[in-house]
Amino acid sequence: MQRSTLPVAVAMCLATSFACAAPTLEEVIVTAEKREESLQDVPISIAAFSEDTLEKMGVSDIKGLASKVPNLVVNEFTGSSTTVRLFIRGVGQNDVQVTQDPSVALYMDGVYIGSSVGTAFETADIQRIEVLRGPQGTLYGRNATGGAINLITNKADPEELYFRQRLTVGSFDLFRSRSILNLPLGESMALKVGYSRSERDGFVDNQGAGKDFGMQDRSNITADFHWDAGDATTLDYKFEKSTIEDTARLSQILRYDATAPLTALIRFANPALNDRGQPVDTGSDRKARATSFDTQQRGDVEIDAHTLNIGWDINETLTFRSITGYRDVDAFTQNSQSPTTSLGGVFSVTDGRPDTRFEQFTQEFQLLATTDTVTWVGGLFYYEDESEEENLGDTSGTEALPPGVLQDLTTTENTSIALYSQGTWSPPRLEDWHFTLGLRYSDDNRKAFRDNNRVSFGLGGSPTPIPAFMANYDQDFDEFNPSFTVEYDLNEFSNVYAKVVTAYKSGGTSQRSTSTENFQAGFDPEDLISYELGYKGDLMGGRMRFNAALFYMEFEGYQQSVQTGRNAGERDFVNIDDAEISGLEFDLTLALTDALTGTLSYGYLDTSFGPDSISYLQIDAGSPTGFSTVTEPLTDDLALAPEHTITASLDYRKPLHFGVLDANINAQYQDESLGGVQVPTGQLNDRTLLAATLGVSDIELGEDYGTLRISLWGNNLLDEEYHVGNIRQPTFDDFGFVGGLATFGDPRTYGVTMEYSFR
């Protein structure tokens, strides 16, 4: 199934508009189906970004993709700057817990990353990022109902000695340094070491105790070893150590109603008062300063990771691969919410201090075959993890719990094993047709234990113990997921495809459950079936690339985290009978001139639930016993699924007598979306983000002295005020908190980057 997509000479030039010698777009190589292929040959909706493109767009970590890919939502888990939530086509994990997997699979150099905690890491030498939109149940498994994101780093290279040093300074006293040294060790081996360091002041000044909100302090060390062990065997080992000591972003109440029944119980710090002496919303000033009622602490996240990839070309047809990964995460974070208010003796939502330890091991064996008519990959995947999370009370002693009191403890043990196979047949007599069948069998075991030793403070400040419990959860799940795809080559340059894909996400339990019964019962698996029609084409003599997909997805047992307690932190996962998602996306790239290239991408989502409401156990603050069964209505749309997303960019590149001029301007519009599925819920506002870079590269410093690159950059140039998270706590309406609890995205930032390269 090899099809040329970008020929040097093409017969499809539009003679009326363009000459055949016009520039063509570069071929993009991806590994979405476990082998290197042209993006245009893979029947998946993919957005792929090279290192150079990421630099031009101002993307330094995975969160930066949020404004670059339609139908992709990337945001922080509320109150934790180092924990990332991923949503693709409206499918994702709205609550991050050690007892549940993400719905979008994240891979680094072929190794699955099983925990969302600590995924805001940076790395020194990214080669490419691939965003696979739509369920990937066959090749990526039970944790890819929304899609998958592949992070691919550069390998050590035995053929070249090179050194790169990049320095960035910018607003909020940003300093970022990235160093890479590739050292050949003979003709067959090489060692590459990389180091990155990033520091930035907080976006919001804390006028109370401790650090400012939104500070950044990160470092990353990598060591890559490559060995060509023979004509047919390669070995790549990578060690990575990351440290993240960020502080939490500012999360606070958007709107305050001074006429609510229980507002007298609230104390405000540095309040703005109206003419009646009542506190009022201070508007955008909240982005600049706030007063914390507890001590704001730095997080302390340490990540150690080891990856071993072995490849063996058995013969011209067969290739064997072994991918081994180990990852250890030790993470202390501070969740700071509504820091501009204190609830006094009512109960506290201002602070949580989870201390998470997560350890995982993965082993994957792959066998790939390639003939004139068949391409096939089969694999065996094994995964295990162990975790422990303590949620400590407020250590300053000013809030509801005494210093150091253990709020709760959760431990987990999970194992997963899967067999998969996917083959594509291109019949000789139907040379324009390609048929792909995929199969995967998964077997999962999930164990969890919770010691819920908690104290709540009721109205008036008297301690009201929530019944403590110790409970165990132990369940097995298995699933068979097939997929089928038909492709047809319209001509040498374009093709269409139709596919049916199934995927599943295993059941589990909730570490935030306040009920023994709910914790032990847990929730059932989630099943998804997706239908997709797609088109991929290189047109106008290779000057234009247009890819589009139309899809419909249907869930059975849709999993969702819902509030089942006094505040938004007391939650259970439930299965909502049905959910439906339909939509489309397209990506258009056009070489306008030799120097100017434009891109335009669009995503549309239409989401809905089947039933009008669900019933579940909820703690009711007005009940004498504290417990009652209620019926909660659902929203009309799914959470974090904006209806419209548009991205556009222009790239300009022109040789100069002393280097190459590079310029990029890019913009994204993202529609408003919901923060949850319960009525009422918080709402993320719509946003328009504008970014730009201007630089000169390939500046020769003299023979054998290397080259220099200098660029100016700016992000969110319009200084848009937008949300990256917004939750609504219905039980707080009587206190006047009626606008949701929102976390804001980055304000306007700008700076200069200088990079020196020696080869």
What is the average pLDDT value for the chain, to the nearest integer? 83
CB-CB contact of 425 with 375 (8 Å) = no
Beta-carbon count within 10 A of 543 CB:
22
Q: Which helix (H) or strand (E) holds 637?
A: none
d(CA 174, CA 699): 25
Query: How much of the chain is in helix, strand and coil states, percent to nearest 5?
Result: 5, 55, 35
295 DSSP assignment: -
pLDDT (tens digit per residue) in 435-486 = 999 999 999 999 999 987 755 444 444 444 555 778 999 999 999 999 999 9
CB-CB contact of 249 with 338 (8 Å) = no
pLDDT at 258: 64
Q: Please report where in the chains the tokens 């596919």 appear, as a residue.
A: 499
Find, among 209, 210, 212, 218, the residue nearest to 245 by Cα. 218
CB-CB contact of 395 with 403 (8 Å) = yes
Residues in the chain: 759
Number of alpha carbons in the 13 Å side-chain half-sphere of residue 82? 31
Please give the full DSSP string across 558-576, using - where no structure is assigned: EEEEEE-SSSTTSEEEEEE
| Six-digit token string for 467 | 């019944």
Name which CATH class applies to 29-758. mainly beta
d(CA 331, CA 349): 21
pLDDT at 348: 35
pLDDT (tens digit per residue) in 588-637 = 999 999 999 999 999 999 999 876 556 554 544 333 333 445 556 778 88
Q: Please report where in the chains the tokens 């009646």 appear, as a residue.
A: 276
pLDDT at 433: 96
Q: Rounded to a whole number, what is the largest CA-CA distance in the chain? A: 84
| Six-digit token string for 576 | 């909502």
The alpha carbons of the chain give a radius of gyration, in whole angstroms, of 26
d(CA 469, CA 1): 58
pLDDT at 101: 85
Q: How far is CA 282 from the centre of its chain?
A: 32
Query: Where does 267-426 show beta strands of DSSP type E?
Result: 267-268, 272-273, 279-280, 289-290, 300-313, 318-332, 335-336, 341-342, 351-370, 374-392, 406-425
In three-state secondary structure terms, 55 is helix
- For residue 8, pLDDT beyond 50: no
- Region 488-509: mean pLDDT is 95
pLDDT at 58: 72
pLDDT at 398: 40
| Six-digit token string for 411 | 């431990």
Q: Please report where in the chains the tokens 């109370």 appear, as a residue.
A: 208
pLDDT at 224: 97
Burial label for 443, CB within 10 Å (0-12, 13-18, 19+), is middle
Task: Name the band, by pLDDT with cuts 50, 70 and 90, for residue 564.
Answer: confident
- For residue 577, pLDDT beyond 50: yes
Higher pLDDT among residues 591 and 211, named by residue? 591
| Six-digit token string for 36 | 């290197």
588 strand-pairing partners: 546, 600
pLDDT at 349: 42
228 DSSP assignment: E
- Region 246-255: mean pLDDT is 78
Residue type, 445: N
| Six-digit token string for 728 | 């609504």
In three-state secondary structure terms, 639 is strand
pLDDT at 336: 61
516 DSSP assignment: H
Compute the C-alpha angle 191/196/200, nearest 5°.
Answer: 180
d(CA 743, CA 428): 57
pLDDT (tens digit per residue) in 283-323 = 445 567 777 766 788 888 999 999 999 999 999 999 999 99
Domains in the chain: boundaries: 29-758
Find, among 645, 696, 690, 688, the residue nearest to 665 by Cα. 690
| Six-digit token string for 572 | 């259970």
pLDDT (tens digit per residue) in 75-129 = 777 666 677 888 999 998 878 888 888 899 999 999 999 888 767 666 778 889 9
pLDDT (tens digit per residue) in 138-196 = 999 888 999 999 999 999 999 999 999 999 999 999 999 999 999 999 999 999 999 99
| Six-digit token string for 557 | 């047992």
27 DSSP assignment: P
pLDDT (tens digit per residue) in 169-178 = 999 999 999 9
Task: Name the band, by pLDDT with cuts 50, 70 and 90, for residue 567.
Answer: low
- For residue 407, pLDDT beyond 80: no
- Region 348-371: mean pLDDT is 83
